[in-house]
Structure 1
Amino acid sequence: MAGHAGLTTHVLDTARGRPAAGVRVELFAVEGGERRRVAGAVTNADGRTDAPLIERGSLTPGTFELTFHVAPYFEGFEAAPAVPFLDLVTLRFTVSDASGHYHVPLVMTPWSYSTYRGS
Structure 2
Amino acid sequence: MSSLSTHVLDTALGRPAARVPVRLYDGDVIRATGATDDDGRIAELAPELAAGTYRLWFDVATYAKETGQDFFFPEVSVTFTVAGERHYHVPLLLSPFAFSTYRGS
Taking structure 1 as the reference length, the TM-score comes to: 0.81
Aligned-residue offset at 1:40:
0.3
Distance in 2 (CA, whole Å) between partners of 1:118 and 1:72 is: 24
1:1-119 counterparts in 2 under 5 A?
5-30=2-27, 35-49=28-42, 51-55=43-47, 58-75=48-65, 77=67, 80-81=69-70, 84-97=71-84, 99-119=85-105
Aligned-residue offset at 1:100:
1.1
Across the two proteins, how many residue pairs are aligned to each other?
105
Describe the superposition over 1:44-94 as per-residue Cα deviations: whole angstroms up to 9, x where unpaired: 100012x41111xx221000000000012122656x44xx41111000111
- Runs of 5+ consecutive residues of structure 2 not aligned to the other structure: none
Secondary structure, counterpart of 1:9 in structure 2 = strand
Distance in 2 (CA, whole Å) between partners of 1:93 and 1:77 is: 28
Secondary structure, counterpart of 1:75 in structure 2 = helix
Aligned-residue offset at 1:105:
0.8
Distance in 1 (CA, whole Å) between partners of 2:61 and 2:103 is: 23
Distance in 2 (CA, whole Å) between partners of 1:20 and 1:91 is: 17
Aligned-residue offset at 1:21:
0.2
Identity within the alignment, %: 47
Query: Taking structure 1 as reference, are residues 52 and 77 closer, same or farther at Cα in structure 2, changes over 3 Å only?
Result: closer
